[in-house]
A and B are shown apart, each in its own frame.
Chain A
C-alpha cells in the first residue's frame, strides 16, 4: 500500500479551487523543527555516505603521520586537510585481506567492496576483471535512499582512466559483477540532472505541472512492459541484466513523480546553485570546485544521500600539470627516480582536492551543524604504494561525524597487526545506521569494527 502524501502544491491547489495556483511559499528555518536536528514533519536530518577515490596509491613514507591518537600532526602529503582536520581520522597499517591476484585490480575491489575481484581471463585474450559484490556506496544506498530523488550520485574528475581491462579499473561504483555505475564527468550535466527541469528551490514558486511529465511516465510504463515480456525469453544471467535495466526505469519514474508532486519539504540549507559551464577537460581544480559546490547542494537539497567521487582512476593516466607534472601518473609511480618528488606533489595535490570537497560540506550549514556532521566518507586508492602494487599499510582517510557516531576530533589510528581493511568499511556502514554485524567476503570478511575511530 502506497502512503498518500499530500504535497504542498496539492494543498495550495485545493485552496485555490482547482486552479493551478502559483503562490510563493514560505520556507527555510520554518521547515526545520525548533532544535534544528530534524525536518518539521519529524523525520530526522538524513545521514549521508560518500566515497572519494584516487588511483595509484601514495608514498607511504610521506603519507603516514608519525604520531597516533588525537594529537597527531598531518604529514606532508596530508597537509591539505588542515582546515577540516577535526573531521578527519587517518587509518594506517591495515591490510586488504582479499588477496593480491592482480596489482591495482585486487586493491580497488578489496577496498571498495571488501570482496575478492572476479578475474575475466579466458586465456589468449587481454586480461579483464570486475567486482564480485556491490561497492560500498551502493550497499549504503540500499539503506539510505529514503525520500531523496536519486539513489546515488557518481562523479568523475579526471577522464584519463584505464579503459582496456574491464569494469574494475574504469569505474568506482558497482551494483555487482559487470554492473557498474559510470561517473558523470561534466559539472553541467550534473547540474542539469539535479537542478535542471523540475527542481524547485525553497522559496521558489513551483511551476504548473507539465503534462509531458505524465506522458514520460506512460512511455516508461510501456518500456517496462516490453522488458517484462523480453525477460520470458531469456536465461538467468540475461534476465538479471534486464532486471537492472528495469530497476533504473522504475527509479526514473519515481524521479519524475517527485517532480510532479513535491513531497519532500525543502530543507533549510538548500539553495539552488548557479548553472556551471564545463571547464576544459582535465582542468582538475576548476572541475573539482564546480563538483564540490554541486555535491554540497545535492546533499543539502536531499537530491541524494549517497555519493562517490572518482577523482582519478585505478592505474589512472592523469597528467597533474597543476604540480608541474608533464607525464601521466601511473607511469610516473613506476619510473620516477629517487624519492619520487613529482609523485609526492601529486599525492599532496589529490589530498587538497579531497579537502575542497570536505571544506565545502563543512561550510554548508544545516540545522545547528553542517553537512559534514552528518556524513560518513571513505577516501582511499587502488594500491598502498604504486610502484610495488602493495596492499599492506593501506592509505585510508575517514571523514565526517556521521551524526556523532564517528570520533571528533579525529585521530590517527595505526594498526600494529595488519588488521583487515573491511573493519573500516563495516564501521562506516554502521555509522550511518545500517544494522550490519559483518561485512566483506572470503578473506575480506570481518565482524569487528574499528572502535578507535568511533566516538
Chain B
C-alpha cells in the first residue's frame, strides 16, 4: 500500500535532504502559491479558475483545541493500555462540519471536569494494577518512597502525556503528588495511581497547547515548535499523541525542517493507523455521525436495523479507504466505482451474495442502477426523511458536503410541508412543484432539488425502487445548467467538477487545522488543489503537500 513516489511537484525544497535518506524531489514545495499560474505583470499567483489575483498567504491565529473523545481514548490506549473506561465522556460538538473545529472552540464544562476525574482514576488504577505497573513504570521501587524510580517513570510518561518534556517545575509537581500519595497510603503504586490520574486531568494533556515560537529565520513570523509539529502531525495522521520516535525527532530539533517532517509523515502514512484516522476524517466530512439517529419508520422499513446501519457506514468508509489508500487511486473514481463492502444485511439490500460472515468486498453489477459513492445506501438513507425520500436533503448534501456551498435557511413563517401524493401529483418530483412554482422557495430549492431528484430510484433507506407510488420515475437532473440523468449522470459530472476537488481540499484543511480557512489561506487552498490534480488526485500526496505547507507549520500570534 506504500504509494509510489512521484516527483510531480513544482518547486523543490532547498533543504539539503539527500544525506537524510529521502529524495529531494519527493518533498512538496512549501511555497503557498506553488503550482498556480502567475500574473506576468506582478509575478504573483492567480486563481486558475477566475484569473483573479490571490491575496498573499498569512497563517491562521492559534486556538488551543481540546482532545476529541476519540483522541483521548487513543491516548489512553497508547500511554497506559486497553483500559475499559466505564465513565461516559462528555460528547464532542461538531461546528461547521467538524468536531475538530468544535474542539478548538468549546471548553470543559464543570460536569466534564468530574467525568475526566472519574476517568483519570480508572486510568490511574489500571496503571497501578499488578499486571500493568511493572512494564509501565520501568523500575522496581526499593521502598514506598523511591524518588529515583518515580522521577524516571514520570519523566518518560510525562513526555508522552504532554507531547513534550516536562519542565522541572512540572516534574517536581507530579513527583510531589506521587510521593505524597504513596506516603499517605503507604504504597509506592498509590503514588503511580495518583500521578497518572493527575496528569490525565492536566490541561497540558486535555488541550493541545500549540502556541508557537518566534521563527529565527524570519523576523516577525511565528512557527510551531518541534514538539508542536510532532503533535500536529501525529493527531492528523494517527489521531493520537506522538510516539517516542516522533518525540525523539522533535527532541533532535529537526522537525522544523521540511525534510525531517516529511520523513516522519511518510513513516506515519505507511502505518495502518493513518487509514483509520483518514476514515475518521471522511466520516466527519460526509456527516456520517447523523447515521446514529436516523429513526426510520419501523413499519415501512422493518429491515432497517442497527446491523444494517453498521454495514452502510462501513460500506462508505471502506470503499473510500480502498480507492484512496489500498489502491492509492484517483479519488475521483469514487464517483463511478462499483466497489462495495457488504455485511449480510447490506448484501440483502443490494441484492448481492451474502457473505458467510463479517464484511466482504464485492463488485456491484456493471449494468445496475447503483453506481458511485452517492448511490451508497448509507448516504441515501442519511439524506432522506424517515419514511419518504428527500430530493432536497440529497441535493443539500451535494451542495454542502461535496461542493462546499452553503444553503440559506427557509424563511420563517413559511409552511414547509410537501403535499401528500395525490392524483394531480402522485410522485415526489410532482409534489415538489410547490418549490419550483414559488420564486422565494426556488431561490434555494432550485440549487438542491434538481440534484436530489435523479436519486428517486432509491427509497428513504437507500433500497432500489423502480417506481414512485406506482408511477414511472423521471431521473433527469440539473447541475448549474448542465443536465444529466440518474446517479451515474451526476457522478460523471461531479468526477470532472473542479469545485468538488477544491471542496475536499478545504475540508481536509479544516479537519487538520481546526478552523474554517481564512482569506489569507485561500492561496494555499488553491495551490493544494492544483497540486492534488498534478499528483493524480492521490490522497497520500495531498496529505504530504498539506503537512509541509506553511499553513501547517506557521501561525499568527495576536498580542497577548
Interface residues of A (CB under 8 A from B): 100-103, 120-128, 151, 154, 159-161, 163-167, 170-171, 175, 178-182, 184, 186, 189, 193, 211-212, 214-216, 218-220, 222-223, 225-227, 229-230, 233-235, 237-238, 241-242, 244-245, 247-249, 251-252, 255, 317-319, 326-328, 331-332, 334-335, 337, 387-391
Digitize B49-84: 1 where CB-to-A-CB distance is under 8 Å, 0 elsewhere. 000000000000111100000000000000000000
Residues of A within 8 A of B96 (CB): 120-122, 125-128, 166
Question: For residue B91, which residues in chain A have a CB less than 8 angstroms away from its CB?
Answer: 163, 170, 182
Contacts of B388 in A (CB 8 A): 335
A179 contacts which of B107, B300, B412 (Cβ < 8 Å)?
Answer: B107
Closest to A127 in B: B406
User: With an 8 A cutoff between CB atoms, is B109 at the interface?
Assistant: yes
A226 with B109: in contact, given A125-B510, A126-B97 (CB under 8 Å)?
A: no
Contact of A327 among B93, B295, B406, B415 (CB under 8 A): B295
Q: 0/1 per residue, B397-423, Cβ < 8 Å to A?
A: 000110011100110111111101000
Cβ contacts B353-379/A at 8 Å (1 or 0 each): 000000000000000000000000000
A-B contact pairs, 10 of them (CB 8 A): A120-B96, A128-B94, A166-B102, A193-B114, A214-B184, A334-B417, A334-B418, A388-B412, A389-B410, A389-B416
A255 to B117, CA, bound (A): 12
Give the CA-CA distance A319 to B105 in the complex, in Å: 31
- With both chains docked as a complex, state the minimum distance between the C-beta of A258 and any C-beta of chain B, in angstroms: 13
Please tell me which one of the listed residues A163, A181, A214, A223 contacts residue B203 in the complex, with CB atoms under 8 A apart.
A223
Contact yes or no, B93 A215, CB < 8 A: no
Contact A247 B110 (CB under 8 A): yes
A63 to B: closest C-beta gap in Å: 17
Considering the chains assembled together, what is the distance between the CA atoms of A388 and B416 in angstroms? 7
The answer on a CB contact under 8 Å between B62 and A238 is: yes
Given contacts A102-B409, A127-B409, contact A166 B114 (CB under 8 A): no
Which stretch of B17-25, B172-180, B246-254, B475-483 is in the interface? B172-180
Q: Does B106 contact A (CB under 8 A)?
A: yes
User: Which residues does chain A contribute within 8 Å of B134, judged by CB atoms?
Assistant: none
Given contacts A230-B209, A326-B297, whether A170 and B93 have CB atoms under 8 Å apart is: yes
Number of B residues contacting the other chain (C-beta, 8 Å)? 83
**Cα of A26 to Cα of B102 in the assembled complex, Å:** 51
Asked whether, in the complex, the Cβ of B64 is within 8 Å of the Cβ of A234, the reply is: yes
- B287-311: CB near A (< 8 Å → 1, else 0) gives 1011001111111100000000000
B177 touches A218 (CB 8 A): yes
Please name all residues of chain B whose beta carbon is closer than 8 Å to the beta carbon of A181 when the two chains form the complex. Answer: 109-111
Task: Determine the distance from Cα of A214 to Cα of B185 in the docked complex, in whole angstroms.
Answer: 11
A339 to chain B, nearest CB (A): 12
Q: Report B-chain residues with C-beta under 8 Å of the C-beta of A179.
A: 106-107, 109
Contacts of A247 in B (CB 8 A): 110
Are B385 and A331 in contact, CB atoms less than 8 angstroms apart?
Answer: yes
Contact B409 A103 (CB under 8 A): yes
**B412 contacts A390, C-beta separation under 8 Å:** yes
Interface of chain B residues 158 through 190 with chain A (CB within 8 A): 169-170, 173-174, 176-177, 180-181, 184-185
B209–A244 CB distance below 8 A: no
- Among B377-402, those with CB < 8 Å from A are 385-388, 400-401
Residues from chain B with Cβ under 8 Å of A122 in the complex? 96, 516
Is B211 an interface position by the 8 A CB rule?
A: yes
Distance to closest chain B CB from A412 (angstroms): 25
Chain A residue nearest to B518 in the complex (CB): A122
Residues of A within 8 A of B64 (CB): 234, 238, 241-242
Chain B residues within an 8 Å CB radius of A165: 94
Q: What's the minimum C-beta distance from B72 to chain A, rounded to whole angstroms?
A: 14
Q: Is the Cβ of A219 less than 8 Å from the Cβ of B204?
A: no
Contacts of A219 in B (CB 8 A): 177, 194, 197-198, 201
Are B202 and A226 closer than 8 Å at their CB atoms?
yes
Contacts of A317 in B (CB 8 A): 293-295
Min distance, Cβ B384 to any Cβ of chain A, angstroms? 10
Q: Is residue B113 contacting chain A, with contact meaning CB distance below 8 A?
A: yes
B245 within 8 A of A: no
Q: In whole angstroms, how far apart are the Cα atoms of A144 and B114 in the complex? A: 21
Residues of B within 8 A of A216 (CB): 117, 121
Q: For the complex, is B433 an interface residue (Cβ under 8 Å from A)?
A: no
Neighbouring A residues of B299 by C-beta, 8 Å? 326
Residues 519-560 (chain B) with a chain A CB within 8 angstroms: 557-558, 560
| Set of chain A residues within 8 Å of B201, measured between Cβ atoms | 219-220, 223, 249
Contact B95 A128 (CB under 8 A): yes
**In the assembled complex, how far is the CB of residue A227 from the closest CB belonging to chain B, in whole angstroms?**
5
Q: Say yes or no: B406 contacts A125, CB within 8 Å.
A: yes
Any chain A CB within 8 A of the CB of B338?
no
Q: What is the bound-complex CA distance between A218 and B110, given in angstroms?
A: 18
A223: chain B residues within 8 A (beta carbon): 198, 201-203
**Quick check: A387 and B114 within 8 Å, CB to CB?**
no
Q: Given A126-B96, A182-B111, A220-B201 in contact, is the A103-B410 Cβ separation under 8 Å?
A: yes
B413 touches A388 (CB 8 A): yes
The answer, among A160, A233, A387, for a CB contact under 8 Å with B295, is A160
Asked whether A125 and B404 contact (CB < 8 A) given A179-B109, A248-B112, the answer is yes
CA of A387 to CA of B414 in the docked complex: distance in angstroms? 8
The answer on a CB contact under 8 Å between A252 and B203 is no
| Cβ of B108 under 8 Å from chain A | yes
Encode contact with A along B106-148: 1 for CB under 8 Å, 0 otherwise: 1111111110010001000000000000000000000000000
Task: Let me know if A215 and B180 touch, CB within 8 A.
Answer: yes
- Among residues of B, the one whose C-beta sits closest to the C-beta of A104 is B409
Q: B184 contacts which chain A residues (CB < 8 A)?
A: 211, 214-215
Q: Report yes or no: B114 in contact with A252, Cβ–Cβ below 8 A.
A: yes
Which of A127, A223, A248, A388 is most buried by chain B, counting CB atoms within 10 A of its CB? A223
Find chain A residues with CB under 8 A from B88 CB. 186, 189
Q: How far is the CB of B317 from chain A (nearest CB, A)?
A: 18
A328 touches B295 (CB 8 A): yes
- CB–CB A125/B97 < 8 A: yes
The answer to whether B63 and A238 have CB atoms under 8 Å apart is yes
Q: Which of B97, B121, B409, B560 contacts A164 (CB 8 A)?
A: B97
The 5 closest A-B pairs by CB, nearest first: A248-B113, A328-B295, A248-B110, A327-B386, A241-B107
Q: Residue B318 at the A interface, CB < 8 A?
A: no
- Expressed in whole angstroms, the minimum distance between the Cβ of B404 and any Cβ of chain A is 4
Contact B93 A180 (CB under 8 A): yes
- Decide yes or no whether B506 CB sits under 8 A from chain A: yes
Which chain A residues lie closer than 8 Å to B417 at the CB level? 334-335, 337, 387
- For A101, A179, A245, the residue with the greatest tally of chain B CB atoms inside 10 Å of its CB is A245
Assembled-state Cα–Cα distance A186/B90 (Å): 12
Contacts of B204 in A (CB 8 A): 226, 230
Min Cβ gap A52→B in Å is 19
> How far is B409's CA from A308's CA once the two chains are assembled, in angstroms?
28
The interface centre, meaning the residue of B111, B184, B194, B197 with most chain A CB atoms within 10 A of its CB, is B111
Which residues on the A side are within 8 Å of B206 (C-beta)?
245
Task: Name the residue of chain B whose CB is nearest to the CB of A219.
Answer: B198
Q: Indicate if the CB atoms of B185 and A182 lie closer than 8 Å.
A: no
Q: How far is the CA of A170 from the CA of B413 in the complex (A)?
A: 23
**Nearest chain A residue, comparing its CB with the CB of B206:** A245
CA distance A328 to B413 in the complex (A): 22
- Bound-state CA distance A189–B413 (Å) is 41
- Which residue on chain B has the smallest CB distance to residue A153? B111
Residue of A whose beta carbon sits closest to that of B107? A241
For B290, the chain A residues whose CB sits under 8 A away are 163-164
Q: Complex Cα distance A154/B115, Å? A: 14
Which residue of chain A has its CB nearest to the CB of B401?
A: A126
- Report yes or no: A245 in contact with B113, Cβ–Cβ below 8 A: yes
B387 to chain A, nearest CB (A): 6
Does the CB pair A328–B386 fall under 8 Å? yes
Q: How far does the alpha carbon of A326 sit from the alpha carbon of B405 in the complex, in Å?
A: 33
Residues of chain A within 8 A (CB-CB) of B170 are 226
B406 and A124 contact, CB distance less than 8 A: yes
A248 in contact with B295 (CB, 8 Å): no
9 A-B pairs besides A235-B558, A317-B294 with CB distance below 8 A are A102-B409, A123-B406, A124-B506, A126-B406, A127-B96, A163-B91, A178-B105, A234-B64, A326-B298
